[in-house]
Structure formats: C-alpha cells, structure tokens
Amino acid sequence: MDAGVNSPGLILPLALGFFGRVRHGEERKHALSLLVMGSPMSMDELKKAAAAEALTLVESGMRLGLGTGSTAKIFVDLLAERMKREGLKLIAVPTSEATRQQAEALGIPLTTLDETPELDLAIDGADELDADLNLIKGGGAAHLREKIVELSAKRFVVIADETKEVKTLGKFPLPLEVVPFGLEATKARLTRAIESAGSVGELRLRLKADGSIVKTDGGNIILDAHLGVIKNPAHLAETLDHVTGLVEHGLFIGMAERAYLATREGVRVNKRA
C-alpha cells in the first residue's frame, strides 16, 4: 500500500476528474471544481475519500487519537459507522472539546492520556504539508492538544485534500498559542525570534467573525504569524520552542508518518523518509 518515499506517492484510484486549479489559504475552499463521470465532486467528498483510506489502518483493540477540523470530523463519522457495522472495540482520545462532543454523541468510547498515555494511531487533518511531511496545524485553534495527542501515538497519519500540499510552508498563517498575560511583550519576543530564524511577517490576534477574541480549549489566545514563506521550518520550530509566553506553535516537524491526500486521480499516499 505504501508509496515510495515522499512523492509522487501511490495513487489509490477513485476515478476522480479534476477541472480546477490548485490554490491555497483563503482561496482554497473555493478552488476546486471536480467532476466524477459528469457529477460534481465536492470538497467534502474529497476529504471523505482521504478519511476512508485512513480508516483502513484502524483495527479492533486500538487506542486512537482523534483529530480536529472538518476532515477529522468526517473521519470520526466514518469511524463510528465502521464500529457499529463491524463491532470494533476501540478507545480514543479527542484533540479538542469539539471532537470530544462529536465522538461522545456517536458513542465512541473515550479515554484520556492520563489513563492511556500511549496510543496506537492518531489521525488528523492539516492546514499545510510539505514534501517532508512537515505540517502547519492549528487553523482550528487546537494544535496544542493535537500535538500532545499526536506525539503520544506510535503512528500519526494526516488526511487532507491535495490543496493542502505546498512546496514551502508559510502561506497559511502559522498559529501561535500564547497565554493572555503579557501579550504585547510576548508578541515582541516572538517577532524577534521569528526574525532571528530567518522569517518575517505580521502577528495578528485571531478574532471570531463577531470581533471577539478566539479562545483555545485551554483558555489561551492565538496569534497568527503571516510569514508567507518558512525557509527552514525545523529551525523556526526549534527557535519558537524557547519563547516564554508561547504555549505551542503550529509547526509539526517530523511527526507525521504518512499523509493520505485526495487528488484528481484518487487518494495519494505520501510517506515520510
């Protein structure tokens, strides 16, 4: 099933036709116009294809990490269906309150990392991924819990549509979860740290549509770093790891084992070296 190292990866055929241009960031949600034998193929159907592929890794008895976001949500729905259909016995740790509520409503047995500190498999979406399977995550403000859960799993697998794949990370603003205390001082330290690591860009406080401040599940706030290009993601991640006041950044370096990417030809599997 596995592709050769990284790209182009193995295509798992789905007979998808693709008649759109790949774009990123804000535009990506409107970017795809897909047809399968004449019928429109929605973004949700693409996400479902990637999620369904990842579901084949799940076996009865596993301890799972459940991601956050629209793609992970589809995975959790499919997981619950399969558990009912096949009587799979699983336990899972959710990466956010939203995923916890969804999983609970679907009857998926939940545990915590305190009860179950090691997981077999974690599955989650991503905002961007590069050829080395370095990721930007945190578009849903859940990257702190996501990183804790995904680092606790023996295997971490990404599910996404191919518009998330980029040559260089950074077009998607890098989420930085910070404590509210001393925000401006932390922001200044972050700006200096980012510059010392070779990037530059504005740090914007993340707001909801109604103008109120986004709060994470841990009660912190998010600064989004608009960097455009991150030339050396590992170096930036290492630099950010030392900034006081920053709880966690959205760079996931060397964590993902593979990615299932829904493409015009089918689901491609990219595997990390």
Q: Which residues bind ligand 5RP (CB under 6 A)?
A: 67-72, 124-127, 137-143, 146
Active site residue 257: no
Closer Cβ to ligand 5RP, 76 or 90, answer by number:
76
Task: Record the tokens describing residue 84, joined without a space.
Answer: 């009912």
Task: Record the tokens describing residue 134, joined without a space.
Answer: 């370095």
C-beta of 158: minimal distance to ligand 5RP in Å? 8
C-beta of 159: minimal distance to ligand 5RP in Å? 8
Closer Cβ to ligand 5RP, 48 or 137, answer by number:
137
Closer Cβ to ligand 5RP, 70 or 196, answer by number:
70
Closer Cβ to ligand 5RP, 63 or 124, answer by number:
124
Catalytic residue among 53, 146, 165, 257: 146
Phi and psi at residue 155, in whole multiples of 5°?
-135, 135
C-beta of 140: minimal distance to ligand 5RP in Å? 3
C-beta of 68: minimal distance to ligand 5RP in Å? 4
Closer Cβ to ligand 5RP, 4 or 218, answer by number:
218
φ/ψ region of 65 (left if φ > 0, alpha if ψ in -120 to 50, else beta) reads beta
Residues designated as active site: 146
